[in-house]
Amino acid sequence: MKTEIAIIGAGPAGLFLGHLLRRAGIDAVILESRTREEVEGTIRAGVLEHWVVALMRELGLAARLEKTADFHDGITLQWNGERLHLDMRDLTGGKFVTVYPQHEVLRDLIAGLLDAGGEILFGVGETALHGVASSDPWVSFRPGKTGPATRLDCRYIVGADGYHGPSRQAIPAERRAEFHKLYPFGWLGILAQTGRSWPELIYANQAEGFALLSTRSPEVQRLYIQCNPDDDIALWPDERIWEELRSRLAVPGWTLAEGPIFQKGIIPLRSFVCETMQYGRLFLAGDAAHIVPPTGAKGLNLAVADVVVLAEALIARYQRNDEEKLARYSETALRRVWKGERFSWYMTTMLHRNPAETDFERRIHFADLDFVRTSRAAATALAENYVGLPFDR
């Protein structure tokens, strides 16, 4: 097989890149190790930055989003039993918060790309990268896991295969610097069959720890609580989860809507960056190169931002034979990535109860939140980051 761009991974990064390249008439093939059903059924992120919504509209992929997404003017922060509404629309000159889950985005992207004749091979096995430092790189894989060993020749490889994928390892260890931070807490996330109890997302920092109230539809709500990252989910029967949510989200005169929980899971919280994001003919995008803790709702958005920068660079290379942007891809992408890392770390640190921190540090977090309450400049800085920072090309 032969293509111009071999993309490994059909997550948000790989699929948005597939669309952007297709629109520019550049040939690409996406290799994905999971089945289409697995990709479309995995519950992950929920919030889209305003420009991601605009991009979906521009690509003609927003029909279901317009009908079923939730558009909020802002978010609510809660600490010491009081709530603060941050009006993002007002603070950012009209930008807003969109809640539309990642698996729905992926369904739209996959259907759109296949309809347009794009090539996605699901369920491939033994993906391996070859010759990334040469001018003739290639990827080997087995269709349907156990099919015959197959070779995909290409001009460039894009590693959009997430944190555990093989692409990052194809950059020699001495050519990359990796930055890691593991937080001493995780998130327990649930989906519950119940109505909404607040018109927007609530991020709460209470004595017992962090809680987040989000939504999926008028009938299904998404909620998270801070927990021990090593906890077995069996330690969290439904009643214990509701008890914690009730007390962490409590304010006088308000009741949490409760109902049957039909999905639950625990994720660890980590920050990670790989410098560099390119080597020879290989470019990394999304979680393959960086991870953020979910508190800032940035993971998916950073992944899409990488491929917007990368697509522009590849288009300059193919349409104008200009390789300068491609040569500077890692440098350009990392400037925005580090700001996303900073914001995610800031939100995580400010809003969680860290068992290792002192009372002094805890008071500092409350001062940070109170600064957002009393300073329009501080509230604007938070809002600008939340709705999505501008691109610096």
Q: Name the residues that contact ligand FAD, by CB under 6 A.
A: 8-14, 31-34, 39, 44-46, 102, 124, 127, 160-162, 165-166, 267, 286-287, 294, 297-300, 303
Among 9, 137, 294, 340, binds ligand DHB (CB under 6 A): 294
Structure tokens at 326: 């491609």
Closest separation in Å from C-beta 38 to ligand FAD = 7
Residues 6+ apart with CB under 8 A from 205: 78, 79, 350, 351, 352, 353, 365, 366, 369
Residue 140 forms beta bridges with which residues?
128, 151
Calpha distance 294→151 (Å, rounded): 37
188-207: b or e for each residue (b if 16 or more CB lie within 10 Å)?
bbbbbebebbbebbbbbbbe
Closest separation in Å from C-beta 214 to ligand DHB = 3
Closest separation in Å from C-beta 297 to ligand FAD = 5
Calpha distance 11→8 (Å, rounded): 9
User: Could you tell which of ligand DHB, ligand FAD, none binds residue 9, using a CB distance below 5 to 8 A set by kind?
Assistant: ligand FAD
201 binds ligand DHB (CB under 6 A): yes
x/- track of binding to ligand DHB for residues 244-283 (CB under 6 A)? ----------------------------------------
> Judged by CB, which is closer to ligand FAD: 74, or 123?
123
- Is the CB of residue 204 less than 8 Å from the CB of residue 56? no
- In the residue annotation, 386 being an active-site residue is answered as yes
- Is the CB of residue 279 less than 8 Å from the CB of residue 133? yes
- In the residue annotation, 294 being an active-site residue is answered as yes
- Is the CB of residue 111 less than 8 Å from the CB of residue 21? no
Structure tokens at 154: 């290409």
User: Could you tell which of ligand DHB, ligand FAD, none binds residue 336, using a CB distance below 5 to 8 A set by kind?
Assistant: none
351 binds ligand DHB (CB under 6 A): no
46 binds ligand DHB (CB under 6 A): yes
Considering the candidates 290, 298, 325, 352, report the single residue annotated as catalytic. Answer: 298
What is the widest separation between alpha-carbon atoms in the chain? 66
- In the residue annotation, 203 being an active-site residue is answered as yes
Considering the candidates 19, 72, 325, 365, report the single residue annotated as catalytic. Answer: 72
Backbone angles phi, psi at 356, to 5 degrees: -90, -5
Identify the three-state secondary structure at position 146.
coil
297 binds ligand DHB (CB under 6 A): yes
User: Could you tell which of ligand FAD, ligand DHB, none binds residue 33, using a CB distance below 5 to 8 A set by kind?
Assistant: ligand FAD
Which amino acids are annotated catalytic?
Answer: 72, 203, 294, 298, 386
